[in-house]
């Protein structure tokens, strides 16, 4: 019988009881967040070493790291007024803001092809999004949602999980069939250089939503 072991993870810079771990890749690298007297910071735990992740736009006060893929690309959220998503790849920060967001965006997960999922907020509420590696955004609104859709994770097959809210509360979802034939991308593992910020780029947008919905007891293929 295998022996399972719990290992406590406490960032050495953290105030007591404030370290959270959110994701781990197949290399064993872990990302999460911790808090200290200055605010909230993301971290990368790799090879037993903690590296603090602070988006340069936050002045080291409010960054959270939510997802990491096997190439070491990290996604998360920082706050500067409204929340904004970020991608940290090869030591370079790129802001991830859905073009439809008027009240903020958050990036939650990334797969091997560089597809990123999260959610954005506008006057009508919260909406999930899928951002492909070329910067095109697709909105994900579960058809059963009345109080918001939130995309939290994506695997290498392009399947997306998250939750939506309606009058009865929150419900998980699986969105499958969004894309096939993904090509993993190769990047320089981070940290390998001083963090920088990528220049702003023009983002195109494709329309989209959940095309179909499985009912209870029906497999989604």
Q: Do residues 32 and 9 make contact, with C-beta atoms less than 8 angstroms apart?
A: yes
My answer on whether omega of the bond before 137 falls inside 30° of 0, hence cis, is: no
What is the domain partition of the chain in residue ranges? 20-192
Q: Do residues 52 and 74 make contact, with C-beta atoms less than 8 angstroms apart?
A: no
Assess whether pLDDT exceeds 90 at residue 69: yes
Which whole number is the average pLDDT over 192-219?
A: 34
Assess whether pLDDT exceeds 60 at residue 112: yes
Assess whether pLDDT exceeds 90 at residue 154: yes
Assess whether pLDDT exceeds 90 at residue 213: no
What SS3 class is residue 178?
Answer: coil
Q: Which of 122, 93, 97, 92 is nearest to 107 (CA)?
A: 97
Query: What share of the chain in percent tops pLDDT 90?
Result: 76
Assess whether pLDDT exceeds 80 at residue 167: yes
pLDDT score of 182: 32
Q: pLDDT grade, residue 178 (50/70/90)? A: low
């Amino acid at each position: 019988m295998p022996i399972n072991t719990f290992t406590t993870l406490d960032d050495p810079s953290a105030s007591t009881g404030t370290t959270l771990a959110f994701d781990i890749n197949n290399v064993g690298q872990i990302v999460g967040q911790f808090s200290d007297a200055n605010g909230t910071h993301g971290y990368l735990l790799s090879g037993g070493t903690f590296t603090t992740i602070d988006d340069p736009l936050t002045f080291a006060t409010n960054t959270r790291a939510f997802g990491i893929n096997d190439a070491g690309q990290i996604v998360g959220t920082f706050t500067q007024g409204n929340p904004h998503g970020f991608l940290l790849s090869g030591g370079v920060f790129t802001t991830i803001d859905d073009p439809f967001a008027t009240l903020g965006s958050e990036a939650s997960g990334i797969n091997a092809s560089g597809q990123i999922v999260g959610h954005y907020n506008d006057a009508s509420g919260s909406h999930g999004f899928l951002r492909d590696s070329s910067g095109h955004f697709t909105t994900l609104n579960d058809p059963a949602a009345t109080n918001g859709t939130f995309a939290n994770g994506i695997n290498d097959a392009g399947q997306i999980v998250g939750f939506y809210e309606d009058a009865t509360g929150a419900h998980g979802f699986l969105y499958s069939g969004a894309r096939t034939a993904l090509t993993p991308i190769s990047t320089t593992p981070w940290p390998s250089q001083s963090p920088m910020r990528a220049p702003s780029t023009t983002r195109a947008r494709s329309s989209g939503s959940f095309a179909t919905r499985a009912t209870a007891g029906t497999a989604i293929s």
